[in-house]
Amino acid sequence: MIAISDTDRVFVLTGAGMSAESGIPTFRDSGGLWRNYTFEEVASPEAWRRDPALVWEFYSMRRRVASQAEPNLAHLALARLERRLRDRLFVCTQNVDGLHEQAGSQQVIHMHGELFKSRCDTCRRPPFPYTQLYEPPTPLPRCECNGRIRPHICWFGEMPFHLNRISRALQEATVFLAIGTSGVVEPAASFVASMGRRSRTIYVGPEPPANISLFSESYFAKAGEILPVLLDG
Ligand code: NAD
């Protein structure tokens, strides 16, 4: 069990491995589901300019997969931890699938966006809930301003969301817990390096991530199997 004192502030970073046991493939183990797509071809501003229909096809496919998924035991354990720690827990996810909220987590920072939201690529209209699937040859969705409606996702080469809040939370945290993330996608891969020397840095996942040397503790197991044990005790 991870000992959390009454004064600890816990920063949790989740990656694709958190949702693997819900049936959503990670980038790395993408055998099958994402195999028809090269990520740079469908998840970048260049891709959007070149072929918005292909981008919408890809995100519609991801919406289909995510809408059939259910939160797993790891998501549920984290939601219970939030009920115990309240605002001493900060959950920052790289996932876009919404499974943390489905499990009952109330405060989740989505640094890479949300699959079930969209925004206009032209005007300043804030992101809005949007669950529609694109079926060619239907026309691509348009905003009232005639801009194109795009997925609310941080693509390669774009700035992740909420970096100021994330940076403040990292400064305040005494415990850093990363779950199911390969430690190669920046800036999330460097969060652990910003933790002070006296803080505890813990990794949970079946194999060591690229930045494993920066962690003080690690538990090499599937999140759904070990998190309930580590967090509930
Ligand atoms: P990644 O694909 O690079 O790495 C996944 C990690 O999860 C690996 O280290 C792997 O060992 C680990 N893992 C596999 N099964 C696990 C399990 N059962 N329990 C715990 N860990 C497990 O993922 P990443 O580091 O999050 O990569 C970053 C990008 O992937 C993010 O930008 C994210 O937006 C995107 N992504 C998100 C989803 C999603 O929303 N569910 C799915 C695929 C990719």
Using one digit for the tens of pLDDT, what is the confidence trace for 2-49?
999 999 999 999 999 999 999 998 876 655 456 567 777 889 999 999
State the CATH class of domain 10-24+71-112+157-232: alpha beta
Enumerate the β-bridge partners of residue 150: 119
pLDDT digits (tens, 9 = 90+) for 158-199: 999 999 999 999 999 999 999 999 999 999 999 999 998 789
Q: Whose CA is nearest to atom 28 of ligand 1?
A: 185
Q: Taking the model in full, what pTM does it have?
A: 0.95
- Distance CA(160)–CA(29), nearest Å, equals 23
75 is known as an active-site residue? no
> Euclidean distance between the first and final Cα of the chain, in Å?
5
- C-alpha 12 – ligand 1 centre gap (Å): 14
Domain ranges of the chain: 10-24+71-112+157-232, 33-68+121-153
Could you tell me if 203 and 40 are in contact, meaning their C-beta atoms sit under 8 angstroms apart? no
Q: Whose CA is nearest to atom 3 of ligand 1?
A: 182
Q: Which two tokens stand for residue 202?
A: 């813990």
**Token match 């348009």: residue?**
142
**Ligand 1 pocket by Cβ (under 6 Å):** 15-17, 19-21, 24, 26-28, 94-97, 112, 180-182, 185, 205-207, 209, 222-223
Same topology between domain 10-24+71-112+157-232 and domain 33-68+121-153 = no
Please identify, by atom number, the ligand 1 atom nearest to the C-alpha of residue 28: 2
- Report the CATH fold assignment for 33-68+121-153: SIR2/SIRT2 'Small Domain' (3.30.1600)
Whether residue 89 has pLDDT greater than 60: yes
> How many other β-carbons are positioned within 10 Å of the β-carbon of residue 223?
27
- C-alpha 30 – ligand 1 centre gap (Å): 10
